[in-house]
Amino acid sequence: MKTAIDVQDLWKSYSGIPAVRGMSMRVAQGEVFGLLGANGAGKSTAIECILGTKKADRGSAAILGLDPQQQRSQLFEQVGVQFQEASYPDKIKVGELCEETCCLYRKAADYHFLLNQLGLTEKKKNFVSELSGGEKQRLFIVLALIPNPKVVFLDELTTGLDPRARREVWKCLLEMKKAGLSIFLTSHFMEEVELLCDRVAVLKKGDVVFCGTVNEMIRKSPYERLEQAYLWFTDEEEEIENL
């Protein structure tokens, strides 16, 4: 299988405090890969180093065989990204944000079609700031899909959504998965991870403490549920007893 994302011995620290310590992983094309870990475990830093928006202290990351810093413009023709904090100008409408995003790419998808697919056609003329949480997240999926990407990065896409909105987003992601897209996501919802991810990596204070399939993760722990296994790997045992 071809490699979509290749990370080799990635290190990053902020003013001496390590955030990511020697991360290595490989995501195959068509695979859905989940990066798990508590808040502050280094997930966002890892994503940013992989995407080249932060410079790693050591190690390398390549997406589709391209260096995200040296070959930025070539790479991002084929990669869609949704960052944790959504960022759009004040007073921009849904249609305008899509149109502006489209014009950045040589071969952009038809955003009308994507909006329709994600049930946002009616909202084209609305201001982005007027959308509900779920609608906004679906809009960000549309934006990440506009480049017709081979790989998408989704950082905590469903955080802050109600269960119904979250399920809607999952449905979209499953369809993307079926279409053969490689997805790199971070999440705090183990139900979501079990449903979507082929493989996961668990970060604990910047270290990768586990990398493999969901089933392997459960088997390697003394527990039977992913959530318990996750807490066990991240050493938050007291909380396990409270579950």
Partner 1 sequence: MKTFKTMLKIELKLSLRGMDMFIFAICLPVVMVILLGFIYGDRPAFSGAEYTFFEQSFGALATISICAGGVMGLPLLISDYRHRKILKRFQVTPVSPSRILMVHIGIYAIYAIVSVILIYIISAIFFGYRMEGSLVWFAVTYLLVMLSMFSIGMVVGGLAPDQKTAGIAASILYFPMLIFSGATLPYEVMPEVFQKIANVLPLTQGIKLLKIVSLGEPAALGIVPMVFLTVLLVLCSGIAVRFFRWE
- Residues binding partner 1 (CB under 8 A): 51, 53, 72-74, 76-77, 79, 81, 83, 85, 87-92, 96, 99-106, 147
Nearer to partner 1, 72 or 225 (CB): 72
Min dist. Cβ of residue 148 to partner 1 (A)? 13
Q: Which residues contact 163 (CB under 8 A, 6 or more apart)?
A: none
Looking up tokens 């305008």 gives 96
Q: What's the rounded Cα separation, in Å, for the pair 137 and 144?
A: 10
Scored b (16 or more CB within 10 A) or e, 155-168 reads: bbbbeebeeebbbb
Under a CB-based contact definition with an 8 Å cutoff, are residues 145 and 175 in contact? no
Min dist. Cβ of residue 190 to partner 1 (A)? 27
Nearer to partner 1, 74 or 213 (CB): 74
Query: How many residues does this entry show for the chain?
Result: 243
Min dist. Cβ of residue 202 to partner 1 (A)? 25
Min dist. Cβ of residue 196 to partner 1 (A)? 22
Nearer to partner 1, 81 or 118 (CB): 81
Q: What's the rounded Cα separation, in Å, for the pair 146 and 77?
A: 10
Nearer to partner 1, 146 or 190 (CB): 146
Nearer to partner 1, 98 or 226 (CB): 98
Two tokens, residue 154? 């989704």
Min dist. Cβ of residue 224 to partner 1 (A)? 39
Under a CB-based contact definition with an 8 Å cutoff, are residues 222 and 211 in contact? no
